[in-house]
Structure 1
Amino acid sequence: MPFEIFKQLFGDLEEYVIQQSETGNRCVVVPQLGAIVRQLSLRKNLTLFSVLKTPPTPEKLKEDSKSASELLFPFASRIPQGKYKFLGKPYQLEKNETGNQNAIHGLVRKRQFHLEEQAVHIDHASLTFSYLLDSPDGYPFTVKFLVKYSLHADGRFVVDYEALNQGNDPCPVMFGWHPYFVLGNEDADAWKINIPSDTVVTFDDNQIPTGVANLQIGKPALLNNREFDNCFVVKSDEPSATTELISDNQHITLKITQETGEGKFNHLVIYTPPARDCVAIEPLTANVDSFNSGDGLNILAPGNKIEGKITLKLD
């Protein structure tokens, strides 16, 4: 068959693999660690590129504090002091950022996810995983979170998420994905980036939004000697927007496309780690600290759901 799904061990971690036999395209998912994508390989002409940077051993993957490839839900980025108000009531989340100053990156990281479905078709294969948030500390709501990973015959890799409010009260939700991307063995300084935005979010010293400013860089912009640790307001007249990570030397472009519009991925974080060996490109459904500001925040009524899509393609 063109596609297959199988299980394998990575140390003592069990992984699920979707693989396309003809191209070698594959994704590897670790349910035990928050259903992260540990490996994603996509072919361009004769070369199979591994486009995600994640820790190289099971031990380092378990210990990872940089959120490599993690799913960020029901909030992403920082909530100052872990404090927020929702419908007039105050709540306190665990301050789990290094330094214990803020809550960061949600409540499903490194949690054991449940395999909901696996499906193999002629033109694609998919894996769907779920995690039930059942009134954890600081978030007294019941939400079923699902993520579906699909690998397609045309080379697309698709991340679909869904959140369903299974409780009796409205609840706030925000979703983000936190992949670190690589293009071959080049350093980030060799690449260009095309950001679908004219507006950058301004931060205080605690990286909490204070407003916005005009984004004044080239499109595409050289990454050489340029540092990013910014959130952007996505601009698009279409139902999607695409960030491009470009290697002219290798004649490849990684396209990260996020759905836009009401309730979708209207924000984007870009981060260049000090090692300059990868770039984090993180689609977000809301602004940083949206649990307090409400900027882009989705509020789910009981029984309602929200969903969205991120698509990767190597051109």
Structure 2
Amino acid sequence: MGNSSDVNGLAVLHLRSPGGAEASAGAEAPRFTRAELLPGRALMVWQLRAALPGRGEVDLLHAPPLEQARAALDGGPPGRSGNNSFKYGGAFLLPFANRIRGRFSAADRTLDTTIAGQERRLFANGGGQAPGAEQYAIHGLILDRAVDELEHLSSADADTARAVIRAGDFGGSWPSDTDVELRLRLGATAFEVDITATNAGEEAQPMGIGWHPYFALPSGAREQARLYLPARTRLEVNDYDEVLPTGRLLPVAGTPYDFSAPGGAALGGLYLDDCFVDLQKTPAGETVVELIDAQAGYGLRVATSSPQVSAIQTFAPPDRAFVVLEPQLNWADPFGPLWNEPRGKGMAWLAPGESVAYRVRLSLFQPGPP
């Protein structure tokens, strides 16, 4: 694994595409070069790098240097279940993405809620910051989870990490036991995320999966960046502090939130913390999103072939040079009465022994001039 640094007790794992950065010098096409993975944090992607024509090697994710990773991730309020994992890089979210609401107890920050008809207790690791704002559970139960098995596999065309998390019932928080296999593959032309969640218990259960990558804008010029996101609808939220869905579905056509035209639309000064649904698939059944930084000559394509992906959560403050694009199975507040789906809006439903696969593929392209 080649590095003595560690996070949460496990060494950082470095992936390098064939030829690495050296083979990319003077390259006429963009190519992936390196990745830094944290097995101590559910194999989250701390950094992903690429060589861009005319710019050399650049960071593709918003994160501090690797030597600061441990301090960044271990900091923050005590007992927050690894929350800093979803403030940088790309954390994996499971068995749910986004928010789950319930009856909050301030004494111990617990949340009593209903998961697929069963009363469960979660830790309320999130919530609004305003006085009296609602507190809730957010972004799953593996944010601070170390992997149980890890392999580093190299071939002529790719470098691959394979990890297993035997999550059980997530400390009694979920209806059944779950085994999670993660496979991250870095090649020159693609970075691929493949997650398989298997119901290893004796009860049927819902399963949600997501990824939370902070995609950096190499130019630093956020207003000119363009987003292509082929969705017809977004979820209305009560405000951008709690960011809780109201149950209303808002058409994006003719609004500043319509990014569905070929080539997308400029972000300008628009604040985004919005979940887009009613996704338009390609003829091959993929959901494809693109982020374009024309000033940097940089384009990133995010494609998922998983039919269960039903939502793309975005987060992009106007004063920051990054865009978070989260392909998710489930919607926000999936078990809430506003959706009237006891099994969870967007959740995969797994009988004992059944699995669901979550796949995301990143590729690079050169956009036209700004």
The verdict on a shared fold, with TM-score over 0.5 as the criterion, is yes
Give the alignment partner of residue 34 of structure 2, picking from 26, 50, 55: 26
Aligned length: 307
Paired position in structure 1 for 2:304: 258
Paired position in structure 2 for 1:157: 191
Structure 2 letter corresponding to 1:301: A
Q: Distance in 1 between matches of 2:61 and 2:141?
A: 23
Paired position in structure 1 for 2:243: 207
Structure 2 letter corresponding to 1:280: V
Paired position in structure 2 for 1:312: 362
Q: CA deviation at 1:174?
A: 0.1
Q: CA deviation at 1:204?
A: 2.7
Q: CA deviation at 1:85?
A: 2.7
Paired position in structure 1 for 2:314: 270
Contact 1:43 1:314 in 2 (8 A): no
Instruction: Quote the RMSD (CA, aligned, Å).
Output: 2.1
Structure 1 letter corresponding to 2:195: Y
Give the alignment partner of residue 169 of structure 1, picking from 203, 210, 223: 203
What secondary structure sits across from 1:287 in the alignment? coil
Give the alignment partner of residue 224 of structure 1, picking from 268, 276, 282: 268
Larger Rg, first or second structure (1 or 2): 2
Matching of residue 52 in structure 1 with residue 61 in structure 2: yes
TM-score, normalisation: structure 1? 0.90
The 5 Å alignment of 1:295-306 reads 295-306=345-356
Structure 2 unaligned blocks of 5 or more? 22-32, 76-83, 103-110, 129-133, 366-370
Paired position in structure 1 for 2:98: 77
Paired position in structure 2 for 1:291: 335
Contact 2:207 2:349 in 1 (8 A): yes
Structure 1 unaligned blocks of 5 or more? 1-5
Higher strand share: 1
Paired position in structure 2 for 1:3: none
Structure 2 letter corresponding to 1:105: H
Decide which moves more: 118-127 or 132-141: 132-141
Q: CA deviation at 1:104?
A: 0.6
Q: Distance in 2 between matches of 1:296 and 1:200?
A: 14
Contact 1:134 1:140 in 2 (8 A): no
Contact 1:55 1:61 in 2 (8 A): no
Residue deviations 1:202-244, cap 9 Å, x none? 1234433213111133531111211110000122143212111
Matching of residue 7 in structure 1 with residue 2 in structure 2: yes
What secondary structure sits across from 1:312 in the alignment? strand
Q: Distance in 1 between matches of 2:364 and 2:61?
A: 12
Give the alignment partner of residue 117 of structure 2, picking from 63, 88, 96: 88
Paired position in structure 2 for 1:132: 166
Q: Distance in 2 between matches of 1:151 and 1:72?
A: 20
Cα distance change of structure 1 residues 183 and 221 upon mapping to structure 2, 3 Å threshold:
same
Cα distance change of structure 1 residues 137 and 215 upon mapping to structure 2, 3 Å threshold:
same
